[in-house]
Amino acid sequence: MRSLSTHRRHPLAGVLVLLLGLVVLGGLYSVLAPRSAEADSTDEALIDDGRQLFLVGCASCHGLNADGIEQQDGGQYGPSLVGVGAAAVDFQVGTGRMPLAQNSQQAPEKAVIYTDDETAALATYVASLSPGPAIPTEEDYDASDASREEVVEGRETWLTNCSACHNSVGAGGALGDGRYAPPVLGTDPKYVYEAMLTGPQSMPVFNDALLDPEEKRTIIAYLETLEAEPQYGGAGLGGFGPVTEGLAAWLVGMGALVAVATWIGATAVRARQ
Amino acid sequence: MSQTEAPARKGGLAAGPLAGPTAWLDDRVGLATIVKKNLRKVFPDHWSFLLGEIALYSFIILLLSGTFLSVWFKPSMAEIIYTGSYDPLYGIEMSEAYASTLDISFDVRGGLLMRQIHHWAAALFLAAMMVHMLRVFFTGAYRKPRELNWLVGLGLLQLGIIEGFAGYSLPDDLLSGTGLRIAEGLMRSIPIVGTYISFFVFGGEFPGNEFIPRLYVAHVLLVPGILLALITLHMVLLVYHKHTQWPGPGRTNNNVVGYPLLPVYAAKAGGFFFVVFGVTALMGALFQINPVWVFGPYNPSQVTAGSQPDFYMGWLDGALRIMPAWEFTILDWTFSMNVFIPGVALMGLLFTILGAYPFVEQWVTGDRRVHHLLQRPRNAPTRTAFGAAGITAYGLLWISGGNDIIATQFQLDFYWITRLLRVLVFVGPVLAFVATRRVCIGLQRKDAEVVVHGFETGIITRSPDGEYSERHLPLSPAEAWTLSAHDRTEPAGLPAASDHNGVAAPHGRVEQVRGRLSRFWVGHDHQKPTADEVREAHEHHADDDELEPAEQQFGGVNELGVPRRH
């Protein structure tokens, strides 16, 4: 105690306190600061590859610097990709939605143009522009070991957040203006996870604050349970509900019965014979 | 072991006195007289007369399968924790109604099959009633003396729809809860008293704990009871009136041509019952219907895309979907016309029109005679056109009810489908009316032409003078008779508004309206040729360009130019 009070007016005391402050601050920063895009030197080549691919295949809409192209009326020709993250690129390019075949209300899923390596390069390039959601790892979305409780929880989360657009069995549904929620069953769990993370097209973003990674995983667990489930009670008729059921009642049921009725009536009595 | 000789068999119903149990019954309830009369009851045969039977048989299947389901279904809103065998719902809180539906589906042997048979039978019941009603409408079978039976049938259809909707709502799954919420919305949209009605029906705030038990009583007791009573009345009236028949040689307004009930008709009808049961069972086994387990228990915070009612409510849902938002407030009351008009008023309108139609037609045409012979749709062009317009309006509203599924499956814009249907639902029926009436009149012309001139054979002959003519094949008298068995239609003349003293005629204005309507109704009809016209035409063709009348329908000519005979 005595030494502290003696030395606190030492000429170097101020410098020492300042140093201490800087070390603590720096240490805290390195622990707490948001991780920047993984742009360390090993990725440099990949980023460069991605940029070359980007300039050829994407820049015509998204701009040379991936910051979007604005139209004269204020609309966007192609949106800015700064900050969308690698997950968005992996989803859009990996499912064939990008590059667009044409300007339309919504990019449909179609044949994939880029190889996995090229997609990875593009994703790395876009991720290097500004931090954004990274591509989830397999342990994020792997729900093969989900318990019954997790499946039940996933069902509840699905019915609360997703089925309003995607339908209770993930058969998809209509949205306004020609947009739609695509069918989900049969989609690679990675893309399901990425879709929740990045909110492609008309879909809202379900970031980790809205649905934490565990909840996302349980949704995938429920979808996989649905997929593996046998079609109890026969052909599912697309999962579209009473519309296809009514169609089946009229076309199959009434069709068959009227055909039989015609057959029975065809051997009718004729008064003149 | 002593051999006993069996008593000699008596002949049949007709021969000899009765013996054995039949005699026992006859002595006590006078069976022979009733049975003898009704076993010989004649039913005319035509495939379209079997449509009502489909409805009757589906109703029997509904009673049978419904009884099975009622053994396990628990109509209770009590909250329980599900511990059945469907894993994704394990441990979820739900009503006993929903849990017992899951149990029927997964834990009761044959339960899912029965549930699906019950639901498919309900769909077929409603569909068959609609098709049967259209048959009755388009052939004029509702005309005197059958107007009352038409009304009974209409009551059956309405009750069937209510019964179906109640069944759809009972499982208390997400879809039925969503449907009930809409039904509650319809009740509330009734101006001023709507809220009271809703609270009265649901026993308080929606959904409450009262409604499922109430609905259950209606679904298994009240409505089926009335349905059964009305079906009995429908059948009794049918037996009393005797069945209508198509016109043809030997068939008149005073007889019925067909097979007697026993053995032929009973065999046909009985066989058809098993066919209907078989088709329903096959559908129950092969196609999923209302998979309640994927919807989960009703939870007002959840909803699923593709929420639709069953098909018979689809047109009302469609009307709701395309109705523009129109709501206003007078004093403290909100008038939700956007819900009331499509949801409540439209249903009332349809059933009012259907109920009033036979009487309106009778008034306009002045036709108050008894009819047992059916009309071909072409011979009542205006009625057929009204029917086609109605089907078009109904169909367009039906399409609106599935607009989201149509949008996704045909990759169309949901908004544009809605806009288009808003216009089409008014324009479509008018176009359908005009087109159908023209087609009917065209067909009438063709019939008249065939009756007068016979079939064109395509055989062209050249006379020695160089004149070309086509040989005609006259109809057989039987065919000509069938084609011209219908009545001529005469528009009622416009009465004078006042007599020669200038005194206004009583009911003058009403008669004026009736006269104009009548002209609109039958004024465009093409009348069948008169006997003179037919005779004249035959004399005209009598030389050598007319062939011998064919016994059967003309089937074209062979390569030698000779008409084919069957």
Instruction: Give strand pairing partners of B36.
Output: none
Strand ranges, E, within B342-410: none
- B250-307 pLDDT tens trace: 888 888 888 888 888 888 899 999 999 999 999 999 999 999 999 999 988 888 888 8
Write the ipTM. 0.86
Return the number of CB contacts < 8 Å for A and B: 220
Q: Which CATH superfamily is domain A138-228 in?
A: Cytochrome c-like domain (1.10.760.10)
Query: Would you say A258 and B129 are in contact if contact means Cβ atoms under 8 Å apart?
Result: no
Place of tokens 């009503």: B95
Residue B86 covered by a domain: yes
Residue B40 covered by a domain: no
Instruction: Give strand pairing partners of B173.
Output: B297
Ordered per-residue pLDDT tens for chain A, 273 residues: 567 777 777 888 888 889 999 999 888 887 777 665 554 556 788 898 999 999 998 999 899 988 888 888 877 888 899 989 999 999 999 999 988 888 888 888 889 999 999 999 999 999 999 888 999 998 889 988 889 999 999 999 999 999 999 999 998 999 988 899 999 988 999 999 999 999 998 899 998 899 999 999 999 999 999 999 888 988 888 888 899 999 999 999 999 999 999 998 886 555 443
3-state secondary structure of A160: helix
Nearest to B287 among A225, A241, A248 (CB): A248
Q: What range does the domain containing B362 cover?
A: 46-375
Instruction: Give strand pairing partners of B456.
Output: B472
- The total number of structural domains that make up chain B: 1
Query: Would you say A106 and A201 are in contact if contact means Cβ atoms under 8 Å apart?
Result: yes
Residue B209 covered by a domain: yes
Mean pLDDT of chain B: 88
- Tell me if the domain spanning A41-129 has CATH number 1.10.760.10: yes
| Spans of all domains in chain A | 41-129, 138-228
Would you state the structure tokens that stand for residue B142, as one six-digit string? 């509702």
Residue B8 covered by a domain: no
Residue B165 covered by a domain: yes
Mutate to test the interface with B, among A104, A105, A148, A264 (most CBs of B within 10 A): A264
**Cβ contacts of B317 within 8 Å, gap of 6 or more:** B182, B308, B309, B400, B401
Report the distance separating Cα B447 and Cα B453, nearest Å.
10
Query: Would you say B34 and B228 are in contact if contact means Cβ atoms under 8 Å apart?
Result: no
| Strand duo B42-43 + A180-181: pairing | unpaired
Query: Would you say B363 and B514 are in contact if contact means Cβ atoms under 8 Å apart?
Result: yes
* A160, closest residue in chain B (CA to CA): B302
Residue B386, phi then psi, degrees to nearest 5: -60, -45
- Cα separations in angstroms, B60 against B37, B55, B125, B162, B211: 25, 9, 10, 17, 27
Strand ranges, E, within B419-498: 455-462, 468-473
Minimal Cα–Cα distance from A67 to chain B, Å? 30
- B370-395 pLDDT tens trace: 999 999 999 999 999 999 999 999 99
Minimal Cα–Cα distance from A172 to chain B, Å? 7
Is the CB of residue B286 less than 8 Å away from at least one CB of chain A?
yes
Residue B239 covered by a domain: yes
DSSP state at residue B336 = E
**Cβ contacts of B126 within 8 Å, gap of 6 or more:** B157, B160, B161, B164, B310, B311, B312
CATH of the domain at B186: 1.20.810.10
Q: Looking at beta carbons, which residues of chain A come within 8 Å of B175?
A: 241-242
